[in-house]
Structure formats: structure tokens, C-alpha cells
């Protein structure tokens, strides 16, 4: 396994190019199953999750290649319809192959993804949408078996108790591509990644209106063709580097970004004291100043994103006062709190909130990542902490941040990747 060793308390300065978006490319890769022709994607980030999705596409009979940011997918054996537990259980987004398989290959057997460390994460809304289009859905032995000789467009309400669903909207939108008539998804997720998926599908020949809003209309078409497409910039990588600039009192310009996607994050960063300049179209400059406390509540887009919650907890842990950060999307997504407290932070978790009393300084310590954004937040804490921080289990980070340590090094951080053999933890020994 690998860990990061960080010597903290250094300002970050310079510019960093933001990579292609993980959460945009994953459903787009699934969407390549909607055509029997070749798809070519550019600006694809080199991430563990992308490689896993390519493995799933191979399992589903596609030939794939990935070099220099370009992915080529060519379906060869379209009789394959099984996405196995071994692969799907490693990444929830892979459940997005269900809709395209059902639409284009008329049937699909896809493992249920299961829960994960950030919460229960059901897929009931994905299945509801497909049932309403006319699919027969059965769950047996941990697998979803879906089939339909013909799907028929319908008005579908896709809201759940926690609001809209991002990958659920993607899945149902893709399932409806060849449905007879018009499908209307009400309470659709309005995230920019879905707008980007709709742009890709439209380039392939789909007829979609309203993506990026709460109401998406899909008029069924006969077939889709292969196409070439460029993946949008990753707004969560951008948010993470923006916090890195602010937390280290640095001066960093993010390039290849869409400032509009980041308004809620930039607003809070500004409230927390950072100076922000986005007068250039695809750049944002962040100048770190004294860090002020602020309260944050996560919401679906365009609200403050749950994926930026952990990075902001790191930032506010060194603010000059009391902040409350509430996650309405994933109430249990606070695994980073205990690790940050090991670094001298003063954070209390209460229900779905972190109550943060800012401290003057964090002190470097060995800490452990638990999921993608929590691990990123520990790296951010390590960048500002006095002394050495070791962040273990960075395989979580490699799922969603392209060459994070190389980008941070270019900005002046002292961070190294080192191999280590994990020891059994005390709790494992007790359980054994
Ligand atoms: N939900 C349901 N039923 C469903 C689906 C979702 O009740 O069928 C609930 C969830 O439990 C949650 C809420 O709805 O409370 C929103 O979940 P959503 O389905 O929108 O999440 P997701 O599509 O599984 C995507 C991102 C996540 C991000 C969330 C929320 C991708 C590949 N993943 O997940 O990204 O946190 O939306 O914005 O797009 C990450 O990148 O670190 C990450 C976890």
C-alpha cells in the first residue's frame, strides 16, 4: 500500500491544471454501451475508478484502450449483459451500466453495489424509474435482473427523501434513450455532470431537453452512433485545490475550470476569508488570508456540495472561531473528524453536523483515509499542520484525484508517496 508523507506549514503558490471530471466520465463511459460503434473520449483523468469502469466495459464485451488522456471504447460482443459483484461492488457508479444495457441489449444482470463508508446509499430510485418505463426488475442473490423487449416513455418522478439522485437520473435518462415516445424525468438531479452526459448522448444522436435542470425530457430515438467527446473539468478537484490554497495562506490559480460550477464553494471560501478572482473565463485565483469561521449546509447543486464538505471541515478546523458544517445528503459522512482530532483539531460530531472550534495550529500525525473526500481532507490538514503527517490508505485518493501529490509538489508542497506494509490494527486483533 501507499501513504503520503507531508511536511506541513508551507504556503502553496503557482498554478495547477484541473483534470477531467471523475463524476462526469464514469456515466459517460457507461453510456458508450448505448451504441455498437466506437466512442472516443478526451481529457479523461487517469484514475483508479476510470480503470475499473474500463474493466467493467471489457467484462461487457467491449475492447477499450486508454493512453494520454484518451479512451477508446468499441463494443465487440454485445451478447454480454452481466456486470459482476467483483467489479461493481468496488465502485457504486458502475451501477450506471444498468440503464444502457437494458436500453441497448434488452436485458442486464448487474450486481447491487451495496453500502459504503459514507452511508447506506440505496438504488431504489434507479429501479423505480426503469420499472416505470416498463422494465421487469427482479432482485435475486444480490443481483438486479432487468429485462424489457420494449420500453415506453412516461412521466417519472425521481425525487427521494434526500432530494434528487445524480447517478439515478443518469441511469434512467440512459434507459429511456430508445423508449417509445417521450420520457419526462421530474425532480431530476441538475448537476453539471448530467448536463455533460446529455451533451455526449445528444452528440450520439439522442434527443434530450432540460438536462441541468429539475425536468429532463427524452424523446426516444431508433439508435445512437459512435462519437468523440471531451470530458468537462472536475469541480471537486478544483474545490479541493482551492481549499489547499486558502488553508496554506497561499496564492494559487486553478486553470481549466468552469467558475460557474463552483459558485457555492467559492462563496463559502470567500466567507472564510480567502480572496477570489474569477475574472478570467476558465481560471480561478485564490489568495489565502486569515481564516474566518462560517457555517455550511450541503445541498444538491447549485447548493454547497457534499463532496466538498470534508475539505471545508479541514479548512475551518484552523479558523478563528466556531463553525457548524451540516451534511443533509450523507448524515454519516464524517469519518475525517476523528482523524483530524488526532491532529489537534477540536471538532465534535453531533447528528449530521460537525461543530468545529477553530484551533491556532494542527500538529502532524499519522492518520488514515476512509473514503475519497475524507482522505483528501486529511491531506489538506497535513499541508497546514506543523511537523510530519502520514496519510495512510491513499488508494481512496487515487480513485478520484489524478496525480495529487505531483500537482501539490509543483505548488511548493513537501509531499511524497511511500510504500508501506499495513500492520494489523488493534481492533482487528481483538476481533480475530
Ligand atoms: N438516494 C436514494 N435512493 C436512490 C439513490 C439515492 O434514496 O435510489 C439518496 C442517497 O442515499 C443520498 C441522496 O439520495 O442521500 C443523493 O444520492 P445520489 O444518488 O445523488 O448519489 P450518487 O449518484 O450515488 C453522486 C456522486 C457522489 C456524490 C453524490 C451527491 C457520482 C459517480 N457520484 O453519487 O460523489 O457525493 O452524487 O452529490 O457522481 C464522490 O465523488 O466522492 C462522490 C461520493
Domain chopping of the chain, boundaries = 2-19+233-419, 22-230
Q: Which helix (H) or strand (E) holds 347?
A: strand 346-350
Contact by Cβ (8 Å): 236, 45? no
CA dist list (Å): 129 to 90, 99, 167: 24, 10, 12
Helices (H) and strands (E) in the chain, counts: 15, 24
Q: Which atom of ligand 1 is nearest to the CA of 372?
A: 42
294 CA to centre of ligand 1 in angstroms: 25
Q: Is the CB of 333 under 6 A from ligand 1?
A: no
Q: Prior bond to 302 cis, omega within 30?
A: yes
Measured in angstroms, how far is the CA atom of residue 102 from the centroid of ligand 1?
Answer: 21
Q: Indicate which residue's Cα is closest to atom 9 of ligand 1.
A: 162
Which amino acids are annotated catalytic?
Answer: 116
Cβ count near 256 (within 10 Å): 16
- Note whether 2-19+233-419 and 22-230 share their fold: yes
Q: Is 28 in the pocket of ligand 1 (CB under 6 A)?
A: no
Q: Are strands 182-186 and 62-67 parallel, antiparallel or unpaired?
A: unpaired
- Ligand 1 atom closest to the Cα of residue 167 is 23
Cα separation, 281 vs 179, in Å, equals 38
In 3D space, the residue among 228, 243, 237, 270 whose CA is nearest the CA of residue 256 turns out to be 237
Task: Tell me the DSSP string of 303-326.
Answer: SB-GGGHHHHHHHHTTSSSEEEEE
Residue 219 class from Cβ within 10 Å (0-12 exposed, 13-18 middle, 19+ buried)? middle
Residue identifier of the C-alpha nearest atom 19 of ligand 1? 165
Which pLDDT tens digit goes with each residue over 293-304? 999 999 999 999
Rg of the Cα trace of the chain? Answer: 22
Q: Is the CB of 306 under 6 A from ligand 1?
A: yes
The C-alpha atoms of residue 286 and residue 51 are separated, in whole angstroms, by 32
For residues 81 and 71, give the distance between their C-alpha atoms in angstroms, rounded to a whole number.
21
Domain 22-230 sits in CATH at 3.65.10.10
Buried b (16+ CB within 10 A) or exposed e, 316-348: bbbbeeebebbbbbbeebbbbbebbbbbbbebe
Q: What is the pLDDT of residue 426?
A: 60
Residue 163: its pLDDT value, please?
A: 87
CA 189 to ligand 1: nearest atom? 20
Whole-model pTM? Answer: 0.96
> Ligand 1 mean position to 305 CA, how many Å?
11
Closest atom of ligand 1 to CA, residue 191:
38
Measured torsion, CA atoms of residues 58, 63, 67, 69, in degrees rounded to the nearest 10? -70
Q: What is the DSSP string of 15-33?
A: EEE--B-HHHHHHHHHHGG
Q: Which residue's C-alpha cell is 451540516?
A: 326
Q: Is the shortest distance between the CB of 156 and ligand 1 below 6 Å?
A: no
Q: Is 113 in a helix, a strand, or coil? A: coil
Give me the pLDDT at residue 425, please. Answer: 64
Query: CATH number of the domain at 2-19+233-419, out of 3.65.10.10, 3.30.470.20, 3.40.50.12780, 3.40.50.300?
Result: 3.65.10.10
Q: Which residues lie closer than 8 Å to 167 by C-beta, 6 or more apart? A: 27, 92, 93, 95, 96, 126
353 lines ligand 1 (CB under 6 A): no
Task: Write the CB contacts of 99 (distance below 8 Å, at least 6 apart in sequence).
Answer: 30, 126, 130, 170, 171, 172, 173, 174, 175, 176
Taking the C-alpha atoms of residue 51 and residue 98, their distance in angstroms, rounded to an integer, is 18
- Residues recorded for the chain: 432
Q: Nearest residue CA, atom 13 of ligand 1?
A: 162
Residue 356 alpha carbon to ligand 1 centre in Å: 25
Residue stretches of the chain with pLDDT short of 50? 430-432
Is the distance from CB of 290 to CB of 320 less than 8 angstroms?
yes
Ligand 1 centroid to Cα of residue 369, in Å, is: 20
Q: Ligand 1 within 6 A of 160 CB?
A: yes
Amino acid at each position: 500500500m501507499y501513504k503520503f508523507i507531508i511536511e506541513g506549514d508551507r504556503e502553496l503558490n503557482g498554478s495547477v491544471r484541473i483534470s477531467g471530471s471523475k463524476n462526469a466520465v464514469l456515466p459517460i463511459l457507461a453510456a458508450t454501451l448505448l451504441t455498437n460503434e466506437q466512442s472516443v473520449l478526451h481529457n479523461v483523468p487517469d484514475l483508479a475508478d476510470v480503470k475499473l469502469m474500463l474493466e467493467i466495459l471489457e467484462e461487457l464485451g467491449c475492447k477499450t484502450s486508454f493512453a494520454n488522456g484518451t479512451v477508446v471504447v468499441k463494443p465487440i460482443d454485445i451478447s454480454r449483459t452481466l456486470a459482476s459483484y467483483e467489479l461493481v461492488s468496488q465502485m457504486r457508479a458502475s451501477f450506471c451500466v444498468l440503464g444502457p444495457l437494458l436500453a441497448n441489449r434488452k436485458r442486464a444482470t448487474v450486481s447491487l453495489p451495496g453500502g459504503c463508508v459514507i452511508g447506506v446509499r440505496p438504488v431504489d430510485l434507479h429501479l423505480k424509474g426503469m420499472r416505470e418505463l416498463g422494465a421487469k426488475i427482479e432482485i435475486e442473490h444480490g443481483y438486479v435482473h432487468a429485462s424489457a423487449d420494449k420500453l415506453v416513455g412516461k412521466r417519472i418522478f425521481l425525487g427521494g427523501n434526500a432530494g434528487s439522485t445524480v447517478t439515478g437520473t443518469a441511469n434512467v435518462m440512459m434507459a429511456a434513450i430508445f423508449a417509445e415516445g417521450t420520457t419526462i424525468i421530474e425532480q431530476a438531479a441538475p448537476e453539471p455532470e448530467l448536463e455533460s452526459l446529455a451533451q455526449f448522448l445528444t452528440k450520439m444522436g439522442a434527443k434530450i431537453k432540460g438536462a441541468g435542470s429539475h425536468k429532463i425530457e427524452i424523446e426516444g430515438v431508433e439508435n445512437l452512433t459512435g462519437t468523440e467527446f471531451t470530458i468537462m473539468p472536475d469541480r471537486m478537484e478544483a474545490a479541493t485545490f482551492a481549499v489547499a490554497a486558502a488553508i496554506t495562506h497561499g496564492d494559487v490559480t486553478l486553470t481549466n475550470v468552469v467558475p460557474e460550477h463552483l459558485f457555492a464553494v467559492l462563496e463559502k471560501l470567500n466567507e472564510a476569508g480567502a480572496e477570489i478572482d474569477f475574472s478570467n473565463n476558465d481560471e480561478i485565483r485564490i489568495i489565502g488570508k486569515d481564516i474566518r469561521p462560517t457555517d455550511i449546509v450541503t445541498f444538491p447543486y447549485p447548493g454547497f456540495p457534499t463532496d466538498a464538505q470534508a475539505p471545508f471541515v479541514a479548512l475551518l478546523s484552523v479558523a478563528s472561531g466556531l463553525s457548524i458544517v451540516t451534511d443533509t445528503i450523507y448524515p454519516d459522512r464524517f469519518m475525517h473528524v476523528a482523524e483530524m482530532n488526532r491532529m489537534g483539531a477540536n471538532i465534535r460530531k453531533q447528528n449530521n453536523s460537525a461543530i468545529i472550534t477553530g484551533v491556532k495550529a494542527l500538529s502532524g500525525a499519522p492518520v488514515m483515509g476512509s473514503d475519497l473526500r475524507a482522505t483528501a481532507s486529511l491531506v489538506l490538514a497535513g499541508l497546514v499542520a506543523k511537523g510530519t503527517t502520514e496519510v495512510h490508505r491513499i488508494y481512496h485518493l487515487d480513485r478520484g484525484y489524478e496525480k495529487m501529490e505531483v500537482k501539490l509538489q509543483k505548488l511548493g508542497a513537501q509531499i511524497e508517496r511511500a510504500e508501506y506494509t499495513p500492520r494489523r490494527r488493534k481492533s482487528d486483533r481483538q476481533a480475530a
